[in-house]
Chains A and B, each alone.
Chain A
């Protein structure tokens, strides 16, 4: 039996990589993929915790996270396509309209 600390440590590594990806990259599509990476890391630790306490509730939570992630990706990609249509460019540095 693998200790659940291994899974949570791997989850922490993947989450940190996702955070760095969101900050470093300029392409909104890659930023979105990094967000998916972070969601997956959180899911992995949820399943590991659920296994640790011998309940299926962690898996139920992951099920809902997957559904919300699917909706989020669909809406986000529609927004990116709309921005691309309006500006013909695709870089997050250009999107400073709401900057304070």
Chain B
């Protein structure tokens, strides 16, 4: 049952990722990316990471993708990639390079596999994650808030219309 769920969700994830890079219209790509993010959230659930699954849907599929769709609407794209590609031969090289990268990653995954019993999941789920974030990772956690503030100010400065 769990294996069947994994295979179905993994197939949907790979298919939507392929559709993202193959579809010419960026809006379609964005919607396929939402499907992909939802599939990854389901995989987080099967791994026992409930908090991350919720955060994935809220932060990625919610906030980040809304930002993407908004930017696509503002910039009216879809007309950039219709003309003939001047560097088509070079770009087609990306396919064998990508396959070679996958083969290397697969060799690492298979070669470094750790055998032995799987230890039980940390008790408490969200509780253990929260305890970790507010004890061992407290300093990076606070740094994250500073990073988000800096990003917000930077975006406001960059997106401002300069008086010319």
* Residues of A near any B CB (own CB < 8 A): 1-2, 4-10, 12-21, 23-27, 29-30, 32-34, 36-37, 40, 43-44, 47-48, 50-57, 59-60, 62-64, 66-75, 77-82, 84, 89-91, 93
Contacts and interface: CB of A to CB of B under 8 A. Distances in A.
Contact of A6 (B6, B52, B77): B6
Contacts, number: 214
Given A29-B68, A56-B128, A73-B64, 4 more contacts: A20-B98, A25-B21, A29-B75, A91-B80
B29 A33 contact: yes
Contacts of B137: 60, 64
B126 to A, nearest CB: 9
Contacts of A5: 109-110, 113
Contact of B55 (A14, A23, A25, A63): A63
Contact of A33 (B30, B113, B152): B30
15 contacts: A2-B6, A17-B20, A18-B21, A19-B94, A29-B26, A29-B72, A30-B20, A30-B29, A34-B20, A44-B44, A60-B133, A62-B49, A64-B141, A66-B56, A81-B71
Given A29-B72, A40-B40, A82-B159, A60 B129 contact: yes
A67 to B, nearest CB: 5
A68 to B, nearest CB: 7
Interface string B132-164: 110011001100100110111011001100000
Interface string B70-83: 01101101001100
A64 B52 CA distance: 11
Given A12-B109, A16-B102, A36-B64, A59 B59 contact: no
Interface of B: 2-3, 6, 10, 13-14, 17-18, 20-21, 26, 29-30, 33, 36-37, 40, 43-44, 46-49, 51-52, 55-56, 59-60, 63-64, 67-68, 71-72, 74-75, 77, 80-81, 85-87, 91, 94-95, 97-99, 101-102, 105-106, 109-110, 113-114, 118-122, 128-129, 132-133, 136-137, 140-141, 144, 147-148, 150-152, 154-155, 158-159
Q: Interface residues of A: mostly helix, strand, loop or mixed?
A: helix
A96 B97 CA distance: 23
A14 B77 contact: no
Contacts of A54: 118-122
B20 A10 contact: no
